[in-house]
A and B are shown apart, each in its own frame.
Chain A
Amino acid sequence: MKGLWQISLILAISAGLGIISNALRPDSLRLFGEWSSESGLTTPTGECLIISLSEAEKLFAENAAIFIDARSNEDFKKGHIPGAKSLPWQDVDRRFIEVIEDVSPDMIIITYCDGESCKPSYNLALFLFDMGFKNVRVLANGWSVWQEGKR
């Protein structure tokens, strides 16, 4: 079969190039890395950004944290954590100043979106971290777990 050996050859060359180039990189990845739902959610310095639902609820009850919703405006209007500010990740450059102007850099900020591994809350947390807000946390799968917690 002409197709079979060509498929094998293309796959073998690609695998070889990928594995060799990865081995030569200073920041090479482990071939069989360990991933968990929270493993990607760290600052560039390696600090974990995740906050648990119970901690987030405690801070909410004490009014000690600001919640920022990274989902779209439409999703925010359908429902959100009470008191949360809306800062959709796709509008962050345009709306960042307006949303964050009355938040002091040492306040605890909790970002959230929706979905087991939704990215906007993490991206927003990293962005805020870079902007000097060092007490940023991510409530993973935030909107879903918050609603479940209230049931």
Chain B
Amino acid sequence: MKKTNWNYRSILFLFSRLILGCVFIYACFDKILHPAAFSKAVYNYQILPDAFINLTAIVLPWLELVLGFVFIIGIWMHGAVVISNLLLTMFTVALLFNLARGLDISCGCFSTSAMESSANIWTVLQHGLFLVPAVYLLFMVYFSRNCDVLKPKT
């Protein structure tokens, strides 16, 4: 019988993957159900050119869903860590940018509801927090000498 040899690195790796996977899947549901409301949230950020607002609102939630499943299943990690780091960095910068210029907008991060409270510094910190497992995974996938964490030793 094969014995799975879990060490703390593979457990941390798995934990980070599952956290990110769950966050992305949780984040996408409301946006997939209400693309028109999400397109308004994207529009309110006043960052993207008008022509790309709908396309972003249509594709981004599905990208989050696919990333969520990819992280949970544990495949295509080289691609997933790059996209997730880019996405989370862009979300954080966009929130910071709008806070800095004083726009009072809803985050649109986990809900498209108009009742969602305005984005504030805590929303930014929350995104910064999600970057922790994402950066850890990026480091482990691309820069760690020990690639065994990608699969537990058997």
The CA of A22 and the CA of B105, in the complex, are separated in Å by 25
In chain A, what residue has the closest Cβ to B66? A14
* Most B Cβ at <10 Å: residue of A8, A71, A115: A115
B39 engages A116 (CB within 8 Å): no
A-side interface size class: 35 or more
Shortest distance from the beta carbon of B139 to any chain A beta carbon, whole Å: 14
The CA of A120 and the CA of B117, in the complex, are separated in Å by 10
C-beta contact mask, A1-24 vs B, less than 8 Å → 1, else 0? 011111111110111011101100
B46 engages A116 (CB within 8 Å): yes
Shortest distance from the beta carbon of B63 to any chain A beta carbon, whole Å: 4
In chain B, what residue has the closest Cβ to A120? B104
B104 engages A114 (CB within 8 Å): yes
A32 engages B51 (CB within 8 Å): yes
B55 engages A6 (CB within 8 Å): no
B44 engages A14 (CB within 8 Å): no
The answer to whether the Cβ of B25 comes within 8 Å of any Cβ in the partner chain is: no
Shortest distance from the beta carbon of A121 to any chain B beta carbon, whole Å: 9
Contacts of A117 in B (CB 8 A): 43-44, 46, 103, 105
Shortest distance from the beta carbon of A34 to any chain B beta carbon, whole Å: 7
A115 engages B54 (CB within 8 Å): no
B83 engages A113 (CB within 8 Å): no
> Which chain A residues in 56-110 approach chain B with CB under 8 Å?
71, 90
Contacts A32-B54, A33-B53 known; 8 new A-B pairs at CB < 8 A: A6-B80, A7-B79, A11-B63, A18-B60, A21-B62, A33-B54, A118-B104, A123-B114
Q: B residues bordering A, Cβ < 8 Å?
A: 32, 35-36, 39-40, 43-44, 46, 50-55, 57-63, 65-67, 70, 76-80, 82-83, 102-106, 114-115, 117-118, 142
Instruction: Rank and list the top 10 A-B pairs by shortest CB-CB distance, nearest first.
Output: A6-B79, A14-B63, A33-B54, A3-B78, A18-B59, A35-B50, A18-B62, A7-B79, A6-B76, A17-B62
